[in-house]
Amino acid sequence: MQTPSTSTTVFHLEMCDRQALRPKVTPSGFDVSMIDPPTVELNRQMYQSVGGPWEWTERLKWSDEDWQRYVHRAELETWVGRMDGETVGFFELETQDAGNVEIAYFGLLPEFIGQGLGGPLLTATIERAWQLPNTRRVWVHTCTKDHKHAIDNYRNRGFEVFKTEQESPGG
């Protein structure tokens, strides 16, 4: 994890061609499903559980009303990944202007990290993003606070870095 005196590097990555996807083989028993209708409880729980080790703090202060407004937007989809019926991770896709789809949040629950499920979950995420109407670009950002293999997973699936930023401690 990040030390308070160290700056954070934020990597913005994009995929502008569906053919750029280099899928990871999906293991037997793995599937993804959209949460419909969306639920505040699931998004909040996944944000806290998946993001806790990586210092995801932006939404921790959100009220129930903030969560309601966020989760129930037409441009947001929440999906969960399961292995043999057990939830292993999630992703949120947000459709944006000009055919952009952002992978707003993505990750595995801590107990499933290191089991080879990140690549298949990201593959499913990207495939769904390209299925959304008018998608021309899928993008995401990650940083040096995230799992050490996060950026490699994005690159291995076909994303390319288009911008890098430095954030100083405290924000």
CATH number of the 8-167 domain:
3.40.630.30
- For the chain, how big is the Rg over CA atoms in Å? 16
For the chain, the residue count is 171
Q: Which of 130, 116, 117 is nearest to 159 (CA)?
A: 130
Ranges of each domain in the chain? 8-167
pLDDT band at 1, cuts 50/70/90?
A: very low
pTM attached to this predicted model: 0.92
Q: What is the pLDDT of residues 105-123, one digit of tens each?
A: 999 999 999 999 999 999 9
pLDDT over 60 (residue 171):
no
Number of Cβ within a 10 Å radius of residue 128: 19
DSSP conformational letter for 31: E
